[in-house]
Amino acid sequence: MDKILIFGHRNPDSDSICSSIVYNNLKRAQGMDTEAVALGEVNDETRYALNYFGLDAPRVIDGVKEGQPVILVDHNERQQSAPGIEKAKIKEVIDHHKVANFETSSPLYFRAEPLGCTSTIMKKIYDEQEVDINKKMAGMMLSAIISDSLLFKSPTCTLQDKLAAEELAAIAGVNLEEYGIAMLKAGANTKDKSIKELIGLDAKEFDINNKKLVIAQINTVDTKEVTERVEELEKTISTDIKERNLDAFVFVITNILTSNSEVLVMGEDKDKVAKAFSKTLINNFMTLEGVVSRKKQIVPPITEEFNK
């Protein structure tokens, strides 16, 4: 029997990687033949967490074969999953996003909760099944919650996320605030990355009412480090739009210190994206004050506008 692969979405963020590792640890402790893998290289933020807690990054795969048993974490939409996912055997899904274009040929365990982070659900599962959480697994879950909630600044963050993080920080033996800031800053470095790397670090593809969009997001402590490279940004994004036949590319540059985002929008439907926020693009840019969450503050208004 094939080993069950556990993975998050493409262009993985900390929650995708950490949830895969944590769930794999649980499944293996229960005697299952599983492996945590990734659909892309880990980013700087995730690497900081892995190094801090002495764990290796999962191996990267470029697709799954027909009949491959898999468990999806932190996603459920096919276009965000592994190439070949439509022919794989999906055994479980653990997620905190909306459910879209999802269908299987056989029953499965599907758990989706409206929380700020998949790893918060993972902690609940550990507790429900009375499995001890060791320091490394606590560190992974804590790191994911910090990342997805921007240290509790994101509107997606719930009381359950905060309480879980506090408990996990105690188990991991870290100061929650100090560790969180250090980890977020490690992932906010943009100077030594190419534009192609920046727009692909955390990019998700969405199909909305027969329109194909990519919404990418990066965190920084100085948005000017990115926006001043506008010519290269527009050239690279234009190429991506043509190659992938996109109707719009939305690039969100979030300042983790001010909780504001500068957004570059390109493509034939760029003005429709701006209209979703009652904004007018100026040189393809708009400013969204107090906007930090793609899942709760960006995707919903765009979806609503494109479904009109």
Q: What are the DSSP calls for 178-244, one per residue?
A: HHHHHHHHHT---TTS-HHHHHHTTEEEEEETTEEEEEEEEEES-THHHHTTHHHHHHHHHHHHHHH
Tens of pLDDT, residue by residue over 153-187, are 999 999 999 999 999 999 999 999 999 999 999 99
DSSP string, 101-141: S---SS--EEEE--SS-HHHHHHHHHHHTT----HHHHHHH
**In percent, how much of the chain has pLDDT > 90?**
92
Q: Which residues are annotated as a binding site for Mn(2+)?
A: 9, 13, 15, 74, 96, 148
Burial classification of residue 231, based on how many CB atoms lie within 10 Å of its CB (0-12 exposed, 13-18 middle, 19 or more buried) = exposed
Question: In 10 A of CB 40, how many CB atoms?
Answer: 21
Find the farthest-apart pair of alpha carbons in the chain and give their distance in angstroms, rounded: 57
DSSP-derived 3-state class of residue 293: coil
Inter-residue contact 157 to 187 (CB < 8 Å)? no
pLDDT for res 128 = 97
Provide the mean pLDDT of the chain: 95
* pLDDT tens digit sequence for 101-112: 778 888 999 999
Per-residue pLDDT tens over the stretch 195-236: 999 999 899 999 999 999 999 999 998 999 999 999 999 999
pLDDT tens digits for range 112-163 = 999 999 999 999 999 999 999 999 999 999 999 999 999 999 999 999 999 9
Q: Which tokens belong to 243?
A: 């190659």
Choose between 286 and 104: higher pLDDT.
Answer: 286
β-strand partners of 216: 203, 251
Model confidence at 1: pLDDT above 80: no
190-223: string of b/e by CB count within 10 Å (b at 16+)? Answer: beebebeebbbbbbbbbebeebbbbbbbbbbeeb
Per DSSP bridges, beta strands 89-95 and 69-73 are parallel
Contacts of 125 (CB under 8 A, 6+ apart): 23, 26, 94, 111
pLDDT at residue 104, rounded to an integer: 84
Known binding residues are 9, 13, 15, 74, 96, 148
What pLDDT is stored for residue 199 in this prediction? 95
Q: pTM of the entire structure? A: 0.85
36 contacts 21 by C-beta, under 8 angstroms: yes
**Predicted confidence band of residue 2 (pLDDT cuts 50, 70, 90):** confident
- pLDDT of 191 over the 90 cut: no
Question: What kind and span of H or E run contains 90?
Answer: strand 89-95
Strand partners, 109: 92
Q: Give residue for tokens 């504001």.
A: 260
User: What single-letter DSSP state applies at residue 257?
Assistant: T
Mean pLDDT of 257-283: 97
Q: For position 111, what pLDDT does the model report?
A: 97
Residue range 31-75, pLDDT digits in tens: 999 999 999 999 999 999 999 999 999 999 999 999 999 999 999
Instruction: Please report the DSSP string for 92-106 in residue order.
Output: EEEESS---S---SS
